[in-house]
Amino acid sequence: MTKHFRIAAGLAVAPFALAAASHLSAAPPTDTMMNEQVGSYDWVRPQADYIRREVMIPMRDGKKLFTVIVMRKGTKDGPILLSRTPYNAGGMTSRNRSQKIEEILPIMDADFVNDGYIRVYQDVRGLDGSEGDYVMNRPLRGPLNKTKVDHATDAYDTIDWLVKNVKESNGKVGITGSSYLGFTSLMALIDPHPALKAAVPQSPMVDGWMGDDWFHNGAFRMFGFDYDLVQTVKKGGGAVPKGTGDEYQAYLEAGSAMDYAKAYGLLDLPVVRKVLEHPSYDAWWQGQAVDKLLGARKLTVPTMLVVGQWDQEDSYGAPAVYQALKANGTPSEMVSLAIGPWRHSQVNYEARELGPLKWEGDTGAQFRQRYMKPFFDCHLKTDAPKCDTPPVVTYATGENRWEVSQSWPAGSYTPLYLAANYGLSWSKPAAGSDSYVSDPAKPVPLLPRPVHMQGEEWKTWLVHDQRFVDGRTDVLSYSTGVLDRPVHIKGAPKVELHASTSGQDSDYVVKLIDVYPQENSANPALAGYQLGIGIEIFRGRYVHGFDKPQPLEPGKGYKFQWSLPNVDHVFLPGHKIMVQVQSSLFPLYDRNPQSWVSSIMEARPSDYVKATETVTYGGDAASAVWLPVAGD
């Protein structure tokens, strides 16, 4: 039997061997010294369950933009979902070089392409496969952009080409994306193409000075230099080459933002020079603010604005656009707002947790399936279902549930006053004050040292336990007693801080914190945890207006007002509410020298001085955090 098997096996293999030999003989003859590189290899094989096309789409100025079109085989009458990206459209559509469509696209795309959508990614002008010049957050054509093209015109021309040339489509287009892609999604709403029927901008870059990537209320975000180097250098870019040590120490030793830029050769980057030249909220910044651009127009494309409650990069933009549009009378059926329990862009990934916090299931998938896709379906599908988009949808952290509201903020503003003995009071207390010394040589860190602002540490820093600074002599911590009832807030808490300084300038950082019970057997990792619910900074020189920097008069009391990020959170019974006040958050924000210099970007070592900061409470100078308390 053994001999018979071997003969049978040999007979079975022979035809295949002959066929293989025939195929090889048909190929060009090889020589051991010939060039063995070939021109290309099509990694999308015939067995793939999708079609993937790469095209160059012409713009009105003659430049062509690299675009990738992906759809499941057999797609007909499909809506187009477009994203315009600076992060390599080719790479975003070849994630695993698989023959399965769900594997080559980002996670968030699966629900769409499995339901007949045509997914399109495009490199923005001047990057990766696209022609033209790259300009960071290219402004709208006009005073800041003398050319005839911008992200609005490029989106228009792209959509025009797609609906005329993608025969599998139904001629309806939606646009989406997060961060920079959220910015390009918003720009597409300015003079939009008639085929653009819906938009979901996520964590969009809207105003780089007021509260998104480069500044927050006038304080400069030093880590932006790394992004500038990655985005605008063709060869040799990447993170600033300061090594892998403690970033707190590296930034402290470098000095001012200008000194840091000089030390690492960053002044060769036009975008760095632009930012350093515009430290205040001047016409250059104001002219780029997308919320102002959209607020001055009638919105004609239904739009759902999305942001994460703990977005460490772009917490400002989406709510700012929402408020600007509501202020100009835009109805709820045209603009809605969604806030999830996420870090930056986490809506597009698995989102079961954030740092130590655990949610009820995958909140990213829940949002996409319950709200985002139905929104696109009702506006883009040929036989569209009826639209039932909630005006506002948020996730109530603390009690961990999705909620629908009719407007935002959805709570009534109620003051929680700073009080004597480092307390917090719902009624105005007797007048008093507390002081601390702020030393620029020893700024308060944003994370326990050594500080590394990359990876998970950066993604989750906003939910890091704040006990690591509670008790520092340059941090004031005020607390309620143990709550006997829940306190539910829905909106952006507002800071009213009455303070004076012995210097001529100062930063103020306020943190709204949920203090967990000291004993927590259900989740020991959160026992006594001080969870940041909102953390934000204000640069004192702008107390009279963000375009009017002025020195502070030593010893004079000022009322500083700003907002914390938008939240939906429940402080549970048994917890406490805490408010921390400090004057630095380093190295995320550059140090305020606390003496007067016309531009903090160019402060010299001798400009950095200690200052005594005095916070007042009660009476006519009652410091408080105004909480948007919901009437549950």
pLDDT at 17: 47
The backbone torsions φ and ψ at residue 83, rounded to the nearest 5 degrees and listed phi first, read: -135, 135
Other beta carbons less than 10 A from residue 219's beta carbon: 24
Query: What confidence tens digit (pLDDT) does each residue in 24-48 have?
Result: 556 666 667 888 899 999 999 999 9
* Pairwise CA distance, residues 249 & 246, whole Å: 5
Query: What confidence tens digit (pLDDT) does each residue in 76-126 have?
Result: 999 999 999 999 999 999 999 999 999 999 999 999 999 999 999 999 999
Mean pLDDT comparison of 24-38, 238-252, 403-417, highest-scoring range: 403-417
- Is the distance from CB of 625 to CB of 579 less than 8 angstroms? yes
* Pairwise CA distance, residues 325 & 225, whole Å: 32
The backbone torsions φ and ψ at residue 364, rounded to the nearest 5 degrees and listed phi first, read: -65, -50
Beta-strand pair 507-515/423-425: unpaired
- Is the distance from CB of 137 to CB of 183 less than 8 angstroms? yes
Residue 14's pLDDT band (cuts 50, 70, 90): very low
Query: What confidence tens digit (pLDDT) does each residue in 429-457 have?
Result: 999 999 999 999 999 999 999 999 888 99
Q: Give the DSSP letter of residue 368.
A: I
Number of helices (H), then strands (E), belonging to the chain: the values are 16, 27
The two tokens of residue 92 are 């975003």
pLDDT averaged over every residue in the chain: 94
Query: What confidence tens digit (pLDDT) does each residue in 138-172 have?
Result: 999 999 999 999 999 999 999 999 999 999 999 99
Query: What confidence tens digit (pLDDT) does each residue in 55-85 have?
Result: 999 999 999 999 999 999 999 999 999 999 9
Query: What confidence tens digit (pLDDT) does each residue in 345-378 have?
Result: 999 999 999 999 999 999 999 999 999 999 999 9
pLDDT mean over 472-477: 98
Task: Note whether 50-210+284-405 and 412-596+608-629 share their fold.
Answer: no
* Pairwise CA distance, residues 551 & 549, whole Å: 7
The correct answer on CATH 3.40.50.300 for the domain covering 50-210+284-405 is: no
pLDDT at 25: 57
Q: Which numeric CATH code is attached to 412-596+608-629?
A: 2.60.120.260
Boundaries of every domain in the chain: 50-210+284-405, 219-278, 412-596+608-629
pLDDT at 4: 40
The correct answer on CATH 1.10.3020.10 for the domain covering 219-278 is: yes
Other beta carbons less than 10 A from residue 513's beta carbon: 26
The two tokens of residue 451 are 């500080």
308 to 61, 364, 475, 568: CA distances (angstroms): 37, 10, 27, 11
Q: In this model, does residue 1 exceed pLDDT 60?
A: no
Hey, which residues does 104 pair with through a beta bridge? Answer: none
The backbone torsions φ and ψ at residue 500, rounded to the nearest 5 degrees and listed phi first, read: -140, 165
Query: What confidence tens digit (pLDDT) does each residue in 495-551 have?
Result: 999 999 999 999 999 999 999 999 988 889 999 999 999 999 999 999 999 999 999
pLDDT mean over 309-336: 97
Place of tokens 């010294």: 33
Is the dihedral angle over the CA atoms 340, 344, 346, 351 positive or is it negative? negative
Secondary structure element (H or E) that encloses residue 484, with its range: none
pLDDT at 11: 38
Query: What confidence tens digit (pLDDT) does each residue in 269-286 have?
Result: 999 999 999 999 999 999
Output the 3-class SS for 440-465. Answer: CCCCCECCCCCCCCCHHHHHCHHHCC
pLDDT at 232: 94
The two tokens of residue 178 are 């997060």
Q: In this model, does residue 12 exceed pLDDT 50?
A: no
pLDDT at 30: 63
3-state secondary structure of 517: coil
pLDDT mean over 560-579: 98
pLDDT at 571: 98
Q: In this model, does residue 3 exceed pLDDT 80?
A: no
